[in-house]
Amino acid sequence: MPGKLTIPEKVAYPLEELAWECTKNAVAVSQYLSSHNLPQPSHSPDGPSRTLPQGTPASIRQARESLMDAALKLFQLAAGPSEFIPNLAPGFQYVACLTWLLRYDIFHLVPDSSPTATVSYADLAAAASVPEARLKSIIRMVMTCALFREPSPNRVGHSATSALLARDADVHSWASYLSTRSAPTALAMTAAHDRFGPNSVAKNETAYNVAFATELPFFDHLALDPKNTAEFAGYMRNVTTSEGVNIKHLVEGYPWADLSSSQQEGQPLIVDVGGSTGNAAIALAKSFPSLRFIVQDLPDNANAGRRAAAASSLPEQILSRLTFQGHDFTEPQPVLGADVYLLRMILHDWPDHVAVTILKNLVPAMLEADTKSKLIIMDTVLPAPNRGVPSTVERIVRVRDLTMMQVFNSRERDLDQWRALLAEADGRLRLRRVMEPFGSAMSLLEVELDLNWVKGETIESKEGQEEVVVGAEEEEDSLDSGEDSNWDISG
């Protein structure tokens, strides 16, 4: 809804074109906010922490995505190649400063009693027991990325972003995790490849192992210190409540109700393999009263899930359809002939040879089904470059890919890599449909066994072989943004 904006006859040059994309989409977002009496984005400490609230129509969310994409490209184009290197330095300095600010608890020491509350550098330095000059250098650096403000000379106040870090413990621990774990791990990537060889897929020969001087795999190392485990749990809470990996995409992104209609008798059975403490199964059970679930995980998690469910206020009509089972997914699947085997956020943690084992272990169980068993994989499908996915979105998906490499020697996969993985596990595993729920960082890959497959037959691996279902949300007023992608993993 760009309103009264006049579209220029012709936008002749790349800078103008990008600037026009920015203007057009900024107007769409601003007018939406104003027409719904919502606050405009602002760096003021009482500014909104989300630019667009939950439930904003897809077209407006796309406009915001296109705005960020065009603004980033505009900056890069205007800066030009000669300023590429100097513009890298602020990025790592921001992370260095963030680490320092968290270490000395500066976010909590700046007053947040009112939007206008401020503190002098001298008093803040005294409260944090740090030298005033260093505090000033660091705060003035991060002010260039909208953390803190200096509304009057030598007095510090919160910005919207620093205020969020001060009041939200989970965001604070997310920042802490990022600066103390993710950043040192990323910087150790080359050293790890030098030390272990660039082809290593061992779980304890990663950049994380180099950065933290440990021979233990990531989770075993974290478990040594309960403080680290708690910090990671806070990080995961943020990740799982963020829009991109929200459980609603599992619930709404696949036609689960169809399983019941295709079933002659009884309740369809879903086995959630590596289902943790049952979060996904419980969400599905709430929405689909005719589905039964077995949640499998390592014994400790399965026991924790069983205990938590029993102690919860979940009604009997959900509890009666939920079973927890200890099972190591690198061993053969003990539940034969289930209607669905679900692997959500599992395979991306593992290098190909283990992912192949996990898949192979499911095939004999799938073969036992009366009607066709389905395997549903919910994981990221990496986009191909330059296919209309905004760079602001693509770079975050690629961060996930690199994180998997640096922490687990694993990776995210593109569609061809998913097809190849399935083919390597068993030539009969066929990718039937790919669902891409709007706003989800992960797709749902529906896989079945092709029982007519003949060994030795070549599997074509061309794109478009299977049905791709894009976006579960209704498109309304088109913005003519030139973007037809609905990628949005912003949270």
Positions that interact with ligand SAM (CB under 6 A): 274-276, 279-280, 297-298, 301, 328-330, 344-346, 349
Return the closest-CA partner of residue 397 out of 443, 353, 433, 432. 443
Minimum Å gap between C-beta 301 and ligand SAM is: 5
Q: Letter for the amino acid at 297?
A: D
Minimum Å gap between C-beta 219 and ligand SAM is: 8
Structure tokens at 472: 């579960």
What is the DSSP track for 210-265?
Answer: HHTT-SS-HHHHHTT-HHHHHHHHHHHHHHHHSGGG-THHHHHSS-THHHHHT-SS
CA distance 221 to 208: 10
Decide whether 141 or 233 has the Cβ nearer to ligand SAM.
233
CA distance 134 to 101: 11
Decide whether 36 or 307 has the Cβ nearer to ligand SAM.
307
Decide whether 176 or 276 has the Cβ nearer to ligand SAM.
276
Structure tokens at 67: 């705005």
Decide whether 30 or 303 has the Cβ nearer to ligand SAM.
303
Catalytic residue of the set 158, 221, 348, 353? 348
Q: Which residues, including other chains, have CB under 8 Å from residue 342's CB and lie 6 or more apart?
A: 270, 271, 272, 273, 275, 280, 376, 378
Return the closest-CA partner of residue 443 out of 254, 189, 311. 254
Return the closest-CA partner of residue 413 out of 100, 422, 23, 28. 422
Minimum Å gap between C-beta 376 and ligand SAM is: 11
Side-chain half-sphere CA neighbours of 289 within 13 A: 3
Minimum Å gap between C-beta 389 and ligand SAM is: 23
Return the closest-CA partner of residue 475 out of 464, 483, 465. 483
Which 3 state secondary structure label does DSSP give 285? helix
Decide whether 51 or 410 has the Cβ nearer to ligand SAM.
410
Minimum Å gap between C-beta 348 and ligand SAM is: 8
Q: Which residues, including other chains, have CB under 8 Å from residue 37's CB and lie 6 or more apart?
A: none
Decide whether 349 or 426 has the Cβ nearer to ligand SAM.
349
| 348 among known catalytic residues | yes
Minimum Å gap between C-beta 276 and ligand SAM is: 4
The residues assigned a catalytic role are: 348
